[in-house]
Homo-oligomer: A and B are copies of this chain.
Amino acid sequence: MEDKPKITYLRGRAFVEVSRLIFAAKDIEIEEEYTTTKAHFEKLRADGKLMFMQLPLIEIDGMCLVESHAQENYLGWKYDMLGTTKEERGHILMLYEGARSFHDVAQPARWIVFQPEEKWSSFAKEATEKARKRYLPPYEKTLAENGTGFLVGDSVTIADCALFNILSYLDEMACYDNVLNDYPHCKAFVGKFSELPGVKKYLDSPRRFPPPDVAYGKEALAVLF
């Protein structure tokens, strides 16, 4: 029997949440270890587990995998979440990377960890504008046209996991000004994805962290810098 995959990361969603959602969507049991001190982070570096000296780390199939895009593509390959035809593969990869770019410009840890609190609302406003301008329209259109509740085909892919990750912040946090109400297929997608059996179990568990807040920002800075 294979060892359970193991995630080592901060106590937050940030750059490992898409992998957590992939495991959840496929109902794969995993272990988690949380890095809450600089000393623990330095020990992982000294042990040679972090090829580029950065978290998150996923230990799986005898490897220490780093780089979040690589982790998610590896899991997508291992668990058959990349489609089968050329057209499916191309669209899944494009929609997955688009959702990662969407995350890069709109996710809240960007300002909660690195910016003073009085600037948060203006960063959130700018993120919401970029979401409206560049990302929400193509995802709304893709979901409407596919009509299955998934982005491509009729089963969950890494594109869905990456989209749910960023949309769930927009859905949960008041700073995004209920923007999803203007994109009903995206809004419905969040609800439907949340109800996938493995995902529901994960979201209801203590392993699902809330969105980042002041305490998370402080801990992340103290561990990483």
Instruction: Write the residues of chain A forming the contact surface with B, with a CB cutoff of 8 angstroms.
Output: 51-54, 60-63, 65-70, 73-74, 77-78, 86-87, 89-91, 93-94, 96-98, 100-101, 133-135, 138
Contacts and interface: CB of A to CB of B under 8 A. Distances in A.
A94 B77 contact: no
A98 B96 CA distance: 18
Given A63-B91, A73-B93, A98 B52 contact: yes
29 contacts: A51-B94, A51-B98, A52-B98, A52-B101, A52-B134, A52-B138, A53-B133, A53-B134, A54-B134, A60-B90, A61-B90, A62-B87, A63-B87, A63-B90, A63-B94, A65-B93, A65-B94, A66-B94, A66-B98, A67-B93, A67-B98, A69-B93, A69-B100, A70-B90, A70-B96, A70-B97, A70-B98, A73-B93, A77-B89
A151 to B, nearest CB: 12
A18 B118 CA distance: 41
A135 B61 CA distance: 24
Nearest to A92: B70
Chain A to chain B: the 3 pairs with minimum beta-carbon distance, closest first: A67-B97, A70-B93, A70-B97
Contacts of A90: 60-61, 63, 65, 70, 74
